[in-house]
Amino acid sequence: MIEDDRYCVDVLMQLAAARAALGKAGGVVLRAHVDTCVSTAFASDDPAEREAKAAELAKVFERYMAS
């Protein structure tokens, strides 16, 4: 769009739509991770595995929410 010298507002609207779509895709992947990897770790009898997964999840939320 930029190479085609499209109107700036049109480019910005497309960028906003792309960010929203990526955000939704990220939410789907995050939900799948929680439903599988995280729930499996939390059901584990290994406290180190649960702690590691909780720390990982906190880090993911921190990064995901910052973007």
Nearest-10 crossing angle of helices 47-66, 8-33: 170
Confidence of residue 36 (pLDDT cuts 50, 70, 90): very high
Residue 33 CA to residue 27 CA, distance in Å, equals 10
> Is residue 2 included in any domain, yes or no?
no
Cα angle value 16/21/22 (rounded, 5°) = 100
> Is residue 1 included in any domain, yes or no?
no
Position 61 scores a pLDDT of 86
Report the pLDDT averaged over residues 2-25. 95
Report the pLDDT averaged over residues 11-39. 95
Half-sphere exposure of residue 21: CA atoms within 13 angstroms, side-chain side: 6
Number of domains in the chain: 1
pLDDT tens per residue, range 44-54? 999 999 999 99
Report the pLDDT averaged over residues 11-15. 97
Residue 25 CA to residue 51 CA, distance in Å, equals 26
Position 37 scores a pLDDT of 93
Domain that holds residue 44: 8-66
